[in-house]
Amino acid sequence: MDSALIDQTSETFLGQWKRLVSTTNWEKGQIIFEWREALRDTGAPAIEFSDDAWARRVGNVTPQHVGRLRRAYERFAATRDEYPGLFWSHFQAALDWDDPELWLEGAVQSSWSISEMRQKRWEANGGVANEEPSLDEAPPWDEDAEPSGEIVSATMEKVQSPHGRQSGHESDASDADEYSDSEDGDASQGQSSYSGESNSVASPPVRPFASLPPLPVDVSDAFESYKLCILRHKVAGWQEISRDDMLASLDALKQLALAPAED
């Protein structure tokens, strides 16, 4: 049987699985967070609501993964809806960055996979050789499931995101944790009381680059650099340059392109 047909048939189901994992990881993070708050309110000592304590109570999960679930929820739960189409592991990868918003926004606008998001940030920060992220560096495995040791073959996801939007992130080794979650009873129920999902209908995300044709290498490189520059100043609140001045620079480039070529 044609392997391409097999991949195409499997594509939607793989995407559904990854969305489910993303959703349940956020739910688990919220459960852990609320459990900690409840014990803290009772006056229990900190050791009783540590990551290790939850891992012992639940079983089949390490304290390290409990910490990842908790910290991702604590840092990004309030703002994750601002980055439609991203998976939980995008946020987990950016957990210890001092500028995560910039790169999460870039991942939304440019449909970066997790490894692409890491690579773009490394390049923008000077491309220090000994700090280059490994292309096959996968986020930590979700210990809720027994890992098989196999990396799911790369496939392009063209499926609805958890918020009902299209997602076009290319699967790679860095996205492997999205396939690792267990099939527990809560997961099959979709949204639960711990989901933290908003019931409001959000506006469709802006996709300004979706219809761009293929660009020559020099144009593409300059274009990517300018995009990152705009995102950086946007996230910083236009402190070093106003938005109008940024738009004026873009308009000047447009005028340059439209001007007659000199003989």
Domain ranges of the chain: 3-201, 212-263
Under the banding of pLDDT at 50, 70 and 90, the label for residue 22 is confident
Cα–Cα distance measured from residue 137 to residue 11, given in angstroms and rounded to the nearest whole number: 23
pLDDT at 198 over 60: no
pLDDT of residue 200: 39
> What's the rounded Cα separation, in Å, for the pair 78 and 201?
16
Residue 151 has pLDDT above 70, yes or no: no
∠ Cα 215 164 91 (to 5°): 70
* pTM of this structure: 0.54
Cα(5)–Cα(41) distance, integer angstroms: 55
User: Phi, psi (5° rounding) for residue 143?
Assistant: -75, 5
Q: Comparing 153 with 60, which gets the higher pLDDT?
A: 60
Contact in structure between 243 and 230 (CB atoms under 8 Å): no
DSSP code string of 51-109: HHHHHHHH-SS-HHHHHHHHHHHHHHTTTGGGSTT--HHHHHHTTT-S-HHHHHHHHHH
**pLDDT digits 0-9 by tens, 86-101:** 999 999 999 999 989 9
Q: Give the separation between CA 160 and CA 168, rounded to whole angstroms.
A: 9
How many beta carbons lie within 10 A of that of residue 169, not counting itself? 25
DSSP state string for 192-226 = -TT-----SPPPPPP-TTTTPPP--HHHHHHHHHH
Q: Per residue in 136-150, pLDDT tens?
A: 544 554 545 444 333
Rounded CA gap, 62 and 143, in Å?
A: 6
Q: Which residues of 103-138 are buried (b: 16+ CB within 10 A; e: fewer)?
A: bbbbbbbbbbbbbbbbbbbeebeeeeeeeebeeeeb
